[in-house]
A = this chain, B = another copy of it.
């Protein structure tokens, strides 16, 4: 027994537009008669709505079906959602690189870009590099900046709802940065900023290893692991956006930091030095005792952090991504130990999206924003109960 809130005619028009857009996106191409039957709107109302949508560019007239156009007199006009009428960006701003994906309004990819950034680059330099990379991508793809409808961004740290980085130790100058606001100035469309592991969780559910699961934890495995979780298909950000920041747990156990655990010399590795870490793993694979001990210590740490998440959340599925996921000997021990200690062990899978997980998730968040804007009817309706 839902009902419209009030009798505002422009609200009603907006709802009718959303219903028609939704029908067109689901069905691809529909005639006016088909739209009348799918939406329940009257033909005159529908014609008004379609006219407005064609004017806005979101709907275009499709070519008439050849077979029908011959037999009958005047061919029925057919319409489709105009996915090319705007574009979306998914951006990763990471410690080592910035990358971006460009798509149409249905999330179909149109292009991508990736640039290395020095890990000690200042915030301004990193932002400038991001803007330049996106500028290049738009130029190459022949897409004007004004065509962007929403931009998603995934980046390390605790990100507040307004796009401010509350705490971001992995990137210099990141803590306190009003990242959403800064990028909004460049793009002049809504910018949604999200923690990188959260974005990756969204991505694996959309196009990766978790398409069939709505309850999952994505672990961004590295020297300082982060994690993102979907619960019932929805991103769980936590009360202050800090959910899944399980890396701090080792501080409590008075145990060593991962970069120390992985050291074979007693001197800690640099926290972001992936090459040095990979080197330790390959020496361990070759059988060197000191390196094997180091890897064992590192794995125990990772297992412990992931187990804490699994015990707290009880997900169906754990997806391991980040650079450490690609190293031999990470996934199997993790699976074995979780089986052993968790009351209800989850499935453990490797990320399918690899390096593109974070940007893909950011793109999906931009698409979510757009869909909410274009298609959401629920928010304007109250279910009376």
Contact = CB atoms under 8 A, between A and B. Distances in A.
Interface of A: 1-4, 15, 18-19, 22, 158, 166-167, 215, 227, 229, 231, 236-246, 248-249, 251-253, 300, 303-304, 307-309, 311-316, 337, 341-344, 346, 375-378, 380-381, 383-385
Contacts of A381: 1-2, 383
A304 B253 contact: yes
25 contacts: A1-B380, A19-B384, A158-B344, A215-B238, A215-B239, A227-B312, A238-B315, A238-B344, A239-B346, A241-B314, A243-B312, A244-B314, A245-B311, A245-B314, A246-B308, A248-B311, A248-B341, A248-B342, A249-B304, A249-B311, A252-B307, A253-B304, A377-B383, A377-B385, A383-B383
Contacts of A248: 307, 311, 341-343
Contacts of A166: 344
A244 B311 CA distance: 6
Question: Taking each of A4, A377, A384, which has the highest tally of chain B beta carbons within 10 Å of its own beta carbon?
Answer: A384
A40 to B, nearest CB: 8
B313 A22 contact: no
A1 B12 CA distance: 9
Contacts of A307: 248-249, 252
Contacts of A337: 252
A381 B378 CA distance: 12
Q: Which of A307, A311, A342 has the most CB of B within 10 A?
A: A311
A231 B313 CA distance: 11
A312 B312 contact: yes
A249 B308 contact: yes
A104 to B, nearest CB: 21
Nearest to A346: B239
Given A239-B346, A377-B385, 6 more contacts: A158-B344, A231-B236, A239-B344, A246-B308, A248-B307, A252-B337
